[in-house]
Amino acid sequence: MERRNFIKSICAATAVAAVASPSALLAKDTPKGGNVLTYDAAVAAITGGKVVTDSDKVKLTVPEIAENGAVVPVKVNVESPMTDADHVKAIHILTTKNGNARSADIMLTPMNAKGYFATRIKLAGTQDVVALVELSDGSFLRAAKPVKVTIGGCG
Amino acid sequence: MMKRNGILFTGKKVLLSLAFLSTMSMLQLNAGEQFAMSDADRAMYTEMLENNPAEIYVEEGGEILEEALGGEEALAKFLEVSEKDLPKYIAGFPRYIAKLGNVVGIDQVLQAMQVEQGKKKTKLKSGKMFSMLAYVKSLANDELINIDIEADEHIKASYALGKVTYMTARGGRGLSCNSCHSADIVGQVLRTQPLPDLGEVAVAGTWPAYRMTKSSLRTPQRRFQGCMKNALLKVIPIGSKEMIALEVYVATLAQEKGKKIAIPGLKR
Amino acid sequence: MAEARKSMIKFKPKKFKVGDVIKVDFIVIHPMETGTRKDKKTGKIKPAKYIDSITFSLDGKPFTSMKVWETVSTNPYFSVNMKVLGKGKITVDYTDNTGEKNSKSKKLKPKG
């Protein structure tokens, strides 16, 4: 009897329930509405269908493995002189599998001096985090990185 | 089964040997690398310490302490130490406080101050108390944990009780704290997380902490309770003799490794 | 009477001069409730409550604005850079989807 208990699991099922909340962000759980868009629709809404170029100028930093899906650090650094003539107009943080693909839209100005933004987002599960960047000349750049979300631990 | 010190000890002793544990599929020997954090990831999570939401609770705790109790000045006076010595003194908790007749944690000292001032006691298990506890402990930031378990017979007894509590196998699976946190088990992966050495990760120095899975400030005793629940150990009450004894014992684990106080921590 | 929402503005580094580019960090205690989670006790869906817009201003003049969604973490943190032009006051105004408005300010004190 003892042996079977061990083999089942050392930690009770509550450990998984504790991190269940980010999964409620998956598409099937998210109410659809004007504001809630999945990834492709969100990109179309932001870019108006314009061409988006994957660029090394957009440095996206996220963990390879997120210890916890509710709090995933995201950092974006865009190479830009940030002058009136040439600056980052907006950084859009998106995710590919959350029901609502959008996390944040940041409108920067030359006063920011750097094309930088950081925050922490929720990830419903393993997926890509995307930084969609709009430059002052109207062009769009992108960088994307996968994040593996682990659900586990005791307590 | 017998009841001793309020904790149920099963008559059966279940010996957990390394070999036995390794027969279970979920405890992977040397699989630490699979889920060990990469240096880049660790850097990101370390950076998060600089923007820890718990800092807001720590700040709030300071405001509550000031308004409700008279701040550090009143605390130092109550503990009969100078304000200058207060940080180092805080880093030596839990302590035997003569006028309270018990080995106590900082939160119990705050309650005693409230009683002395004729005020209503804030519950140990309340947001207000967690914030105050975090604030007071943060006053000792950068101090070495300095619990003196030989200081008097009371702290000696508390340490002994703490060690017994830590080492005693109990509950449905016959596990003790030591079953998962002993030197030869730590590092092995259980449910995607490598089991930590409680001294090395300085539990006593980094809790209260912000827990990402709970999005809130959590105290060490509550964390112990969470772990006990998962290991099917009967949960020990907050502020009880055994819980404080456990804190004393776990503090010595960090002290042995020369760890310092760093509040608030940031945890999974 | 509702308490003012708790938040913090931090400058990094703490000491800076005119002309320096600093990091302005804003941390706020807010549930960022998605509106898709169930209350375990009542079984009812917890209503959505999340910060949806933030504006950073210097002496009343906005220099960064954000549209925020419920997918941002609970008790969130937002960080941008800013060039220090002189003494001033940084204000972060934020509203949530329920219309709750809040504000936090911090004085900008460059050394030299």
Indicate if the pLDDT at residue B164 is higher than 50.
Answer: yes
Determine whether the interchain pair C67/A104 forms a contact, defined as Cβ–Cβ distance below 8 Å: yes
Handedness of CA A14, A19, A23, A29 (dihedral sign): positive
Q: Is residue A155 domain-resident?
A: no
pLDDT, averaged across chain B? 88
Distance CA B228, CA C96 (A): 38
Contact A19 B213 (CB under 8 A): yes
Q: What's the confidence (pLDDT) of residue A3? A: 38
pLDDT score at A151: 78
Closest to C4 measured CA to CA, from C71, C80, C98, C94? C94
- Reply yes or no on whether the pLDDT at A111 is more than 60: yes
Q: Which residues of A touch C82 (CB under 8 A)?
A: 111-113
Helix (H/G/I), strand (E/B), else coil: A93: strand
Q: Is A154 within the bounds of a domain? A: no
C14 pLDDT more than 90: yes
pLDDT of residue B38: 86
- Residue by residue, what is the 3-state secondary structure of chain B? CEEECCEEECCCCCCCCHHHHHCCCCEECCCHHHHCCCHHHHHHHHHHHHHCCHHHHHHHHHHHHHHHHCHHHHHHHHHCCCCCCHHHHHCCCCEEEHHHCEEECHHHHHHHHHHHCCCCCCCCCCHHHHHHHHHHHHCCCCCECCCCCCCCHHHHHHHHHHHHHHHCCECCCCECHHHHHCCCCCCCEECCEECCCCCCCCHHHHCCEEECCCCEEECHHHHHHHHHHHCCCCCCCCCCHHHHHHHHHHHHHHHHCCCECCCCEEEC
Q: Chain C closest CA to B44's CA: distance in Å?
A: 14
DSSP letter for each residue of A111-146: GG-SEEEEEEE--SSSEEEEEEEEETTS-EEEEEEE
Q: Which residue of B has its CA nearest to A16?
A: B191
Q: Mean pLDDT over residues A136-147, rounded?
A: 98
Residue A154: the pLDDT is: 74
Contacts of C8 in chain B (CB under 8 A): 55-56, 59
Both tokens assigned to A4: 């079977």
Domains of chain C: 7-108 (2.60.40.10)
Whether the Cβ atoms of residue B233 and residue A88 lie closer than 8 Å to each other: no
Q: Say if residue B18's pLDDT is above 70.
A: no
Predicted pLDDT at A150: 84
Q: In the prediction, which pLDDT does B252 show?
A: 98
CB nearest A114 (choices: C21, C36, C73): C21
List the CATH number of the domain containing A133: 2.60.40.2470
Residue A119 has pLDDT above 70, yes or no: yes
Is B143 a residue whose pLDDT tops 70? Answer: yes
**CB of B187 closer than 8 Å to CB of A147:** no
Distance CA B264, CA B253 (A): 19
Residues of A in contact with C79 (CB under 8 A): 116-119
C-alpha closest to that of B227 among A154, A5, A67: A154
Least confident of A30-39, B136-145, C10-19: A30-39
Question: Within a domain: residue A127?
Answer: yes
For B226-235, b/e burial (b = at least 16 CB within 10 A) is bbbbbbbbee
Distances (CA, A) of B204 to A116, B221, B250, B265: 36, 10, 6, 10
C-alpha to C-alpha distance for C21 and C83, rounded to whole angstroms: 4
The confidence band for C104, taking pLDDT boundaries of 50, 70 and 90, is very high
- What are the CA-CA distances from residue B94 to residues B26, B137, B201 (Å)? 36, 11, 19
Contact criterion met (CB below 8 Å) for A133 and A101: no
Q: Which residues contact B14 (CB under 8 A, 6 or more apart)?
A: A2, B169, B173, B174, B175
Interface confidence (ipTM) of the complex: 0.94
| A59 occurs within a structural domain | yes
Amino acid at B26: M
Does A55 reside within a domain? Answer: yes
Which among A95, A107, A118 is the nearest to C71, CB-wise? A95
- Express each pLDDT in B79-88 by its tens digit: 999 999 999 9
Q: Count up the domains in chain A and report the number.
A: 1
Question: CB-based contact (8 Å) between B55 and chain C?
Answer: yes
Which residues from B are below 8 Å from A when comparing CB atoms?
12, 14, 24-27, 35, 37-38, 40-41, 44-45, 47-48, 172-175, 180, 190-193, 212-215, 223, 226-227, 229-232, 268
Chains that touch A (3 or more CB pairs under 8 A): B, C
- Given a cut of 50, whether residue B173 has pLDDT beyond it is yes
How many angstroms separate the CA atoms of B245 and B58, rounded?
25
Nearby residues of B58 by Cβ (< 8 Å), 6 or more positions away: B131, B134, B135, B138, B263, B264
pLDDT value at B139 more than 90? yes
Tell me the pLDDT tens digit for each residue of B94-115: 999 999 999 999 999 999 999 9
CB B116 within 8 A of CB B100: no
Structure tokens belonging to residue B151:
């200081």
Q: What is the CA radius of gyration of chain A?
A: 19
Residue B100's identity, in one-letter code, is L
Mean per-residue pLDDT for B193-209? 95
Bridge-partner residues for A76, per DSSP?
A: A60, A117
* Omega cis (within 30) before C31: no
Determine the Cα–Cα distance for residues B51 and B98; give it in Å rounded to an integer: 39
| Confidence (pLDDT) at B11 | 36
Q: Place A32 in a pLDDT band, splitting at 50, 70 and 90.
A: very low
CB contact under 8 A, C8 and B56: yes
**What's the confidence (pLDDT) of residue B189?**
87
Please check whether residue A10 touches B, CB under 8 A: yes
Backbone φ and ψ for C21, nearest 5 degrees, come out as -105, 120
Task: Examine the pLDDT at B182 and tell me if it is beyond 80.
Answer: yes
Domain that holds residue A27: 2-149
Q: Measuring CA to CA, which residue among B263, B245, B261 is closest to residue B91?
A: B261
Which of B26, B172, B192 minimises the CB distance to A153? B192
Instruction: List the Cα angle A116/A117/A120 in 5-degree steps.
Output: 155
A106 within domain boundaries: yes
What are the two backbone dihedrals, phi and then psi, of residue A23, each rounded to the nearest 5 degrees? -65, -20
Contact list, B185 vs chain A (CB under 8 Å)? none
- Confidence band of B15 (pLDDT split at 50, 70, 90): very low
Does the pTM surpass 0.80? The reply is yes
Q: How confident is the model at residue B192 (pLDDT cuts 50, 70, 90)?
A: confident
A75 found inside a domain: yes
Structure tokens at B164: 């017994």
CA separation for the pair A62, B41 (Å, rounded): 8
Please tell me which residue, B7 or B96, carries the higher pLDDT value.
B96
pLDDT digits (tens, 9 = 90+) for A78-90: 999 999 999 999 9
Banded model confidence at residue B36, pLDDT cuts 50, 70, 90: low
Q: Helix (H, G, I), strand (E, B), or coil: what is residue C52?
A: strand
pLDDT in tens, C43-100: 999 999 999 999 999 999 999 999 999 999 999 999 999 999 999 999 999 999 999 9
